[in-house]
Amino acid sequence: MYCPSCGTENQDGVKFCRLCGVNLSLVPQALTGQLPQEPSTRRSRRDRHHQPSMESAIRNLFMGIGFIFVSLAIMRFVPAGRIWWFWMLIPAFGMLGKGFSEYFAVKNNQEKFPQPVNRPVIAPPPPSVDSRPRNTGEMLQPPASVTESTTKLFDPPAEK
């Protein structure tokens, strides 16, 4: 078996190249097309595509605060609320925790990948001093050519 990195011939069944040390254990499997599958991580469908955002962090924080107010209102105004008002604190603290975690995740991503700073656009230079109206039919003089005088150097010298 030959090393894919340095081309050194190695014995069959070795795990590493004897010259450069590259891992050779997957080379026979790659040649036969039987590479091992990566283990799939099981995540819920909701968490798979969810990116932390400031909007969802603020929404979860306010919903957690809302559940706290609802639990206090149940405790105060509902006759049987004195018995089960604290069960409303479970979703309240869950949402508060998720809101804080998303907020800190967004802040952490902003520190790692800062947004580009919007720089002010530089104004174009003012128009030229020549303010007379131009006749669009008049021919403007082209700028002097850089090569105009250099072609004279290629002419053969004049014989005298």
Q: Which tens digits make up the pLDDT trace of 96-139?
A: 999 999 999 998 888 777 766 677 777 776 666 566 666 666 66
Question: What pLDDT score was predicted for residue 97?
Answer: 95
Please tell me what DSSP assigns to residue 85: G
What is the extent of the structural domain holding 78?
Answer: 50-112
Residue 126 lies in a domain: no
Q: Specify whether 72 is located in the same domain as 108.
A: yes
Residue 105 lies in a domain: yes
Question: What pLDDT score was predicted for residue 39?
Answer: 59
Residue 143 lies in a domain: no
User: Total domain count for the chain?
Assistant: 2
Q: Specify whether 31 is located in the same domain as 56.
A: no
Residue 43 lies in a domain: no
Question: What pLDDT score was predicted for residue 83?
Answer: 82
10 contact partners, CB below 8 Å, separation of at least 6 = 1, 2, 3, 17, 18, 24
Question: What pLDDT score was predicted for residue 100?
Answer: 94
Question: What pLDDT score was predicted for residue 98?
Answer: 94
d(C-alpha 85, C-alpha 100), whole Å: 24
In the chain, pLDDT over 70 holds for what percent of residues?
Answer: 64
Q: Specify whether 85 is located in the same domain as 59.
A: yes
- 158 — pLDDT class (breaks 50, 70, 90): low
Q: Specify whether 29 is located in the same domain as 72.
A: no
43 contact partners, CB below 8 Å, separation of at least 6 = none
Residue 69 reports pLDDT greater than 90: yes
d(C-alpha 110, C-alpha 129), whole Å: 48
Mean pLDDT for 21-49 is 67
